[in-house]
A and B are shown apart, each in its own frame.
Chain A
Amino acid sequence: MRVERDGGRSIVRVLGELDIATAPQLAEALVEAAGGGAAVVVDLTATTFLDSSGLRTMVMAARDAERFVLVCPPENSTVLRVITFAGFQHAVPLVATVDEADASG
């Protein structure tokens, strides 16, 4: 879990597995990232596994954030499918790269 802040937006990069064990870390990182009303970009490019606990953490954070963008490239189908099965893309912008996330802002 890595949080980078750049002006009015924060990027949270999730490395490795996002599951019931690591979801609490993401929740903390997301609180930090959203601090001061910053736009939050969650980058799942390097995420290798996503379960419903991780998904729930993001859904809750997206609800509270001023602006919330999800980054997951098509190559990472393992993670992408979990997001789309849950229909999360209906709630927040889902883009393939961080650059697109910035453009969509």
Chain B
Amino acid sequence: MTEPVSDADLEVCAAEPIHVPGTIQPHGVLLGLDPATLAVVRTSANTEALLGRPAEAVLGAHLAELLEAVPLADVAAPDLTLVNPLALHLADGRPVEGVLSRSGGLLVLELEPVAPDDEGFDTSYLRIRSLLQRLQGAGDLEELVAATAGEVRRLTGFDRVMVYRFDPEWNGEVVAEDRREDLEPFLGLWYPASDIPPQARDLYAATWLRLIASVDYVPAPILPSATGLDGAPLDLGDTVLRSVSPVHLEYLRNMGVAASMSISIKHGGRLWGLVACHHQDRAHRPPYRVRAVAELVGQLVSTLLPGVEETGSHERSMATGVARGRIADALATGGTDPLKVLEGIADDVLALAGADGAAVRAGGRTLLLGRTPGPDEVAAVVRAARAGATDEVVAVDSLGDEALKDVASGVAVAPVGAGGEQWVAWFRPELLRDVSWGGDPRQKVVKEGERISPRLSFARWTETVRLRSRPWEARELEGAAWFGRHLADVLLRESVARAEVIDTVQRTLLLEALPKVPGVELAARYVPGEGDAVGGDWYDVFWLPGGRIAVAVGDVAGHGLGSAPAMAQLRHGLRAYLLKEDDPGAALDRLDELVRHLLPDDLASLVVADLDPATGRMRVANAGHLPPVLVRGGVGELLATARGPALGVVPGFGYGHADLQLDPGDALLLFTDGLVERRREGIDVSLERLRSAASALPPDLEDACDAVLSMAPGSDDVTLLALRRA
């Protein structure tokens, strides 16, 4: 009768002190020597077979009585790992292998017989050199683990050699296998974390190799007690004969394994995996010199791992590199708005982290690329994934939101600059994955009566993993981090460059200084907008014949800073036509022609006025522009007369002008839509607010401009030109 065990039972199992078993495997003899005298003060009970005398007769004997010659230099070596194994001979001349270690104040000498068939194991220099070369020649992880399995099997002669890789939760997957042909393949199978309990993993991380020569061995106790000279239980963690947990032996027996060996593979100080060697049906004990080479293989593979994991799958690594190159190119040459540039190279942004969708949050805007949660959900998903960690790359492959699983079962977030406000997130959909376990992982351990046993069945058991995305690989997260850093640099450079361009635009298209006009006060303001909104506004003030002055404010729609050439042509065209035509309406007719022929893709609006400062006579013409505000006798009014369509809209429209009289103290305000345009409010309401403000302007014209400007909503360019008759 078996029943599933409780977590409490598993804890008992996990707490088993496997490094102090108090017994050894009986295929060799363990001697505990007093390091000062080399007298035997501890011995395993099984001395009869190898040494030809009972344990009682070994205890108290001097090492010299047991061996033909005592390796005095070796036992005194500071680093015993450098002298192992020792080629020794027993008192009767038979060869044995000796392995030295220290524990509990004792010098520990383990002796293993040299079997006649040991000569079949080739550990010659040439053999080892070619073995190591084959491992070093592996181009990627897959090749490395495959070579490892093959080479270790050829070296050690086990029936089955597997490379077993741990996932972050310590479940293990068989990633490579070399086996006797008649054995069932284990490649691709998963084993639950509980198959190798934590203290076993600790031991595996601390040592390189463990051997169980026969799973059916009868443990040999250590006499007179399994303690060190300090009286504490003897730590056998560094010994090679150390006995293993009976649960582990039963686990192996249940698998049909008769002998087993494991070699650790470590990566960055952590246990990465194991080379697991199994022998079926009979005991198997490669000599120590072979195990030493196998240990060397484990160490070499551990050294090679970081390199091959980085190159990883070569093609994907190439794809990432290509994507990085294209992104960097596009951002360097694609214009002033990085988000717009990224929209055009969405595939590369997605490829960088191997995602189906991405969101870029920068400059107060969010750009969505590919398959993502909705605009309102993205920020919440990112917030949940980051959980406060806003200055590092965060990756989650199990967001667990059923509603979003098809777009965002996994998310990786990279910060853009400091502060946490700007970021890039990549999204991955649920990836239904079948995992083949080596037996039902829920049946980790069974309890028979009062005894805990490992599970009995290792039959392939497949389960489907849900609500998980493909996991994020280190290389993909590096790509994400790179993108975040690069975008931060670009944004910074862009803001500096934009400031410079705005400065240039202002200096070339706007005026460095307004002309001094006797009898007229003039004031102008230009405030650049944000992101795409910058550019398009222009104004001009210039002298006309007869002492008159012309003022104009215009707007070219939709190109941002790319509008600069059109703005320049309009401004120069207006100057030329006004000089020639002596009528603002006629000048607009000519300018309309110019737009249709030379600027067919532009929509331009413009309001122009000319004023005789001496008389106050003024003419105003308007091509599709917002009405100027006229302040007469301290009262503002919208100047809605003499209005025609924007330039380029109606061929041959025939613009007219309005004649006005500007008395001393009266003012005219020309402006662009950035001053009044609001998304949540009709333009009439905004214009009325402006008109009403114009009725209560401060006496100083500069102050008046500031007061009016303070009403601007502030995302678009704002241009304001004010003139007042003194």
Contact = CB atoms under 8 A, between A and B. Distances in A.
Nearest to A48: B679
Classify the secondary structure of B's interface with A. loop
Q: How large, as a class, is the contact surface on chain A?
A: 20 to 34
Contact of B645 (A78, A81, A86): A86
Contact of A91 (B605, B650, B677): B650
Given A20-B533, A53-B557, A86 B649 contact: yes
A90 B623 CA distance: 12
With most chain B CB atoms within 10 A of its CB, the pick from A52, A77, A90 is A52
A53 B144 CA distance: 59
Contacts of B626: 85
B677 A78 contact: no
B450 interface: no
A49 B716 CA distance: 14
Interface residues of B, number: 31
Contacts of A23: 558
With most chain A CB atoms within 10 A of its CB, the pick from B557, B648, B653, B716 is B557
Contacts of A17: 679
B684 A77 contact: yes
Contacts of B682: 77-78, 81
B649 A88 contact: yes
A61 to B, nearest CB: 12
A82 B532 CA distance: 20
A29 interface: no
B160 interface: no
Interface string B246-264: 0000000000000000000
B644 interface: yes
A60 interface: yes
A48 B683 CA distance: 12
B649 A87 contact: yes
Contacts of B716: 51
Contacts, number: 75
Contact of B650 (A60, A82, A87): A87
Interface string B611-628: 000000000000111110
B558 A56 contact: yes
Interface string A66-81: 0000000000011001
A52 B684 contact: no
B681 to A, nearest CB: 8
Classify the secondary structure of A's interface with B. helix
B643 interface: yes
Interface in A11-68: 17, 20-21, 23, 48-49, 51-53, 55-57, 59-60
Contacts of A53: 557-558
A48 B679 CA distance: 8
A37 B643 CA distance: 33
A12 B555 CA distance: 27
B659 interface: no
A72 to B, nearest CB: 13
Contact of A85 (B536, B625, B648): B625
Nearest to B627: A85
Contacts of A86: 603, 605, 624, 645-646, 649
A78 B687 CA distance: 12
A49 B680 CA distance: 8
B653 A90 contact: yes
Nearest to B640: A85
Nearest to A20: B532
B242 to A, nearest CB: 70
A34 to B, nearest CB: 17
A17 B681 CA distance: 12
Contacts of B589: none
Contact of A90 (B533, B602, B644, B673): B644
Interface string A85-104: 11110110000000000000
A69 to B, nearest CB: 16
Nearest to A78: B682
Contacts of B624: 85-87
Contacts of A81: 682-684
B648 A59 contact: yes
Contacts of A55: 557, 603, 646
A23 B533 CA distance: 13
Interface string B282-308: 000000000000000000000000000
Contacts of A91: 645, 649-650
B360 to A, nearest CB: 14
Interface of B: 532-533, 536, 555, 557-558, 601-603, 605, 623-627, 643-646, 648-650, 653, 673, 677, 679, 681-684, 716
**Which 8 A-B residue pairings sit nearest by Cβ, starting from the closest?**
A87-B645, A52-B557, A56-B603, A53-B558, A78-B682, A56-B557, A86-B624, A90-B650
10 contacts: A21-B532, A52-B555, A53-B557, A53-B558, A56-B558, A82-B683, A86-B646, A88-B645, A90-B650, A90-B653
Given A77-B682, A87-B643, 19 more contacts: A49-B679, A51-B716, A52-B536, A56-B602, A57-B558, A59-B649, A78-B682, A81-B683, A81-B684, A86-B605, A86-B624, A87-B624, A87-B646, A87-B649, A87-B653, A88-B646, A88-B649, A90-B649, A90-B653
